[in-house]
Structure 1
């Protein structure tokens, strides 16, 4: 991950030309750095575990059929630059995310912030770490709790429900447009809860595992576990199971 950050990501940070940024879909960008990072990461991961399938964000965009491999016996999942919109505009946060899944269940995950040189990582049943330090999720201690809610991919009815039924119970804060930053915020005392509508595997597999291993809770709105081969939308991340339950109950009533 550090090699990809050094040779692909940071080499292009704040030096991208317009020709090196492409809009894949409205407000969804890809850069030459994303593609180079994914190539380097794919090469390295294939050498570590050659029997595993590799599903990268950019490869899946080029060939959506690759998504059918997420439930394979072993699968590497790559987000070569999470937070590309920020990166392309020359501002933080952004990061690199890798997860390893087994039959659709995440068993290990890594989230790397190249600007902070911060590596968040977790193994199923092995706890959550920032670098060498094992961490336990903590709340902000604020009342009302701090919520980062992404409404970018919600329809108008969902946005209205959030504004009317959810917002009054929380102190709302801006989202970072970067799962590689949002998950650490949920565990490290910056945010208490977050709602995600789009739940793509490369964005959430590593972070959900890491937050759960830290003692927080990341799951579907009905409390079921997040799986990389589940294409449903909607997910909650919370600094504690109690905060997850409170938000899930309000969402069910909205």
Structure 2
């Protein structure tokens, strides 16, 4: 992976994980954890990691804008930059904060770069597994420094393995997914860490993942990684995902053929 940008941002995520995030894992006090919204927690590690990552990204691309998950909690107007011009960084300092705060794995650090509203590069790093994925539009996806493709022979639907985040699904959709799960080889409940779900598609541990909530910092990095590896990330109606769109529902798969099989099985068409 010789691309200087991919190397530099990857090194930044490794550094922040080693200096800030991992040292606080399973060492948080009650005072280190707060509820920023009902059911949504944030830790001192999230905030410190975002500060460090954001400052370095601004220096890397002078004039760029950083849209960080924790910054948006205080300034929702930052989201307007996702359809703006110039370079915009999306930052999720700790994806899977609920896991992290509870002393569970997995969790990940994630960044995506948008230029003139178009995702052009992304990074997902699982520090406990030591797994780094990075991509640049047109240059493919790299997993731990090796080019990776998510495509391959398409398994029969009964041999597919993937996850469905059912917690937030509307009741009718949740019932369809539950009923269709019997047609899938293995339907997993999810790991409460979108970054790890995307990595598992790249490693071949699973072939798909279904989400309802589509917050941009959760999905801009992973969807680009999967697309550059040959997979697809589409709304339930088949339209391509874009991080500035806040419509719910997202199905990501290792290939278009797998996407079609899973959509038919879990969503009925």
TM-score tier after normalising by the smaller chain length: over 0.9
How big is the shift at 1:183? 0.4
Q: Is the Cα–Cα contact under 8 Å of residues 96 and 108 in structure 2 kept in the other structure?
A: yes
SS of 1:70's equivalent?
helix
For residues 196-211 of structure 1, what are the structure 2 equivalents within 5 Å?
A: 196-211=211-226
| Pair 122,173 (structure 1): closer, same or farther in 2 beyond 3 Å | same
SS of 1:177's equivalent?
coil
Query: Does 2:133 match 1:120?
Result: yes
| Counterpart pick for 1:25 among 20, 37, 41 | 37
| Counterpart pick for 1:133 among 140, 143, 146 | 146
Q: Which moves more between the two structures, 181-190 or 75-84?
A: 181-190
Taking the aligned partners of 1:105 and 1:226, their CA distance within structure 2 comes to 11
How big is the shift at 1:234? 0.8
Q: Which residue number corresponds to residue 167 of structure 1? A: 181
Q: Which moves more between the two structures, 56-65 or 169-178?
A: 169-178
Q: Which residue number corresponds to residue 89 of structure 2? A: 76
How big is the shift at 1:59? 0.4
| Post-superposition CA distance 1:200-241 (Å, at most 9, x none) | 110111110111111121122222222121111111111221
For residues 156-235 of structure 1, what are the structure 2 equivalents within 5 Å?
A: 156-164=171-179, 166-170=180-184, 171-235=186-250
Q: Is the Cα–Cα contact under 8 Å of residues 76 and 99 in structure 1 kept in the other structure?
A: yes
| Post-superposition CA distance 1:118-141 (Å, at most 9, x none) | 210011111011121001115795
Query: Does 2:25 match 1:10?
Result: no
| Post-superposition CA distance 1:64-106 (Å, at most 9, x none) | 1111111122210000000101111112100100000123221
Q: Which runs of 5+ in 1 are unaligned?
A: none
Query: Does 2:74 match 1:59?
Result: no
Taking the aligned partners of 2:39 and 2:19, their CA distance within structure 1 comes to 26
| Pair 248,105 (structure 1): closer, same or farther in 2 beyond 3 Å | farther
SS of 1:14's equivalent?
coil
Taking the aligned partners of 1:124 and 1:189, their CA distance within structure 2 comes to 21
How big is the shift at 1:48? 0.3
| Pair 227,103 (structure 1): closer, same or farther in 2 beyond 3 Å | farther
SS of 2:77's equivalent?
helix
Q: Which residue number corresponds to residue 46 of structure 1? A: 58
Q: Which residue number corresponds to residue 159 of structure 2? A: 144
SS of 2:167's equivalent?
coil
Q: Is the Cα–Cα contact under 8 Å of residues 181 and 266 in structure 2 kept in the other structure?
A: no
Q: How many residues align?
A: 253
Q: Which has the higher helix share?
A: 2
SS of 1:80's equivalent?
strand
Q: Is the Cα–Cα contact under 8 Å of residues 71 and 102 in structure 1 kept in the other structure?
A: no
Taking the aligned partners of 2:192 and 2:38, their CA distance within structure 1 comes to 15
How big is the shift at 1:179? 1.2
Query: Does 2:122 match 1:101?
Result: no
| Counterpart pick for 2:99 among 86, 93, 96 | 86
Q: Which runs of 5+ in 2 are unaligned?
A: 1-12
How big is the shift at 1:251? 5.2
SS of 1:116's equivalent?
coil
